[in-house]
Amino acid sequence: MTAISGRRAQMLPEEFEELARLAFRDVEGIRLEFLNGRLAVKPRPDGNHGCVVEWLVRRCLHVRPELFLHHHGLKVQRSLEGRAHPDGILAPSGAFAGAGAWVDAEAVLMVVEVTDAEVEADHRARVEKPRAYAETGIPVYLLIDRDSAEVIVHSQPDGIRYESVQILPFGKTVHLPDPVGISLDTEPLKNWVR
């Protein structure tokens, strides 16, 4: 097994993928993740979570119709041994045609996470995922934090972390930097806080 940050991984990425495939097949709606060599369960989204994602899909399609907010598993981390299920992956439409359940990040412009009530999932979204996405070289990571009513835009990955982090309260206009190049009026997000 591979070592992650001085610890042994719980399993190999290939073993995780098989486990995730079986779990998805047998338990409706379950999404497993594998970050820093550790297995985690991503909570099922609630209705407001779904509304946030729908809002973002509509905004992105309106401004950049050549893009789509995909929902795939993503290979992440410097070694690409991590596996994450972002709430959205902004990439060109059709970018993942013919791909399997876990896609590479070459075409990814932005990943999106929306916070959930589950504590461990929130920790992953706030701490582990920014690092994993920066290590992968994903240009923009958008965290929609329904607890603090803020959007957090991570950009300029340096291979270890994001060098730029912008935090704005819901209600402000957030400018997602290139290569995304979209501005979002976040006022509607006030309707879906926890």
Residues 39-64 pLDDT 10s: 999 888 889 999 999 999 999 999 99
The pTM assigned to this predicted structure is 0.92
In a domain, 124, yes or no: yes
In a domain, 24, yes or no: no
> CA 193, 118, 43: angle at the middle one, nearest 5?
95
Based on C-alpha coordinates, what's the Rg of the chain?
16
Predicted pLDDT of residue 120: 87
| Enclosing domain of residue 154 | 46-192
Report how many domains make up the chain. 1
* End-to-end Cα distance, the chain: 40
**What is the arithmetic mean of pLDDT over 154-159?**
97
Predicted pLDDT of residue 30: 82
In a domain, 89, yes or no: yes
113 closest CA partner among 140, 82, 91, 144:
144
Predicted pLDDT of residue 7: 64
In a domain, 15, yes or no: no
Strand 31-35 versus strand 38-42 pairing type: antiparallel
Encode burial over 87-96: b for 16+ CB neighbours within 10 A, e otherwise.
Answer: bbbbbeeebb
CB–CB of 172/186 below 8 Å? yes
pLDDT digits (tens, 9 = 90+) for 106-124: 999 999 999 987 888 888 9
Query: Distance between CA atoms of 185 and 44, rounded to whole angstroms?
Result: 26
CATH code: domain of residue 92: 3.90.1570.10
194 closest CA partner among 79, 124, 81, 117:
117
In a domain, 139, yes or no: yes
Task: Give SS3 for 143.
Answer: strand
116 closest CA partner among 176, 57, 42:
42
In a domain, 14, yes or no: no
Predicted pLDDT of residue 3: 44
Predicted pLDDT of residue 8: 77
* Choice between 130 and 78, residue whose per-residue pLDDT is larger: 130
DSSP state of 38: E
Predicted pLDDT of residue 4: 47
Strand 73-76 versus strand 102-103 pairing type: parallel
Of 29-33, 52-56, 133-137, 175-179, which gets the smallest average pLDDT? 29-33
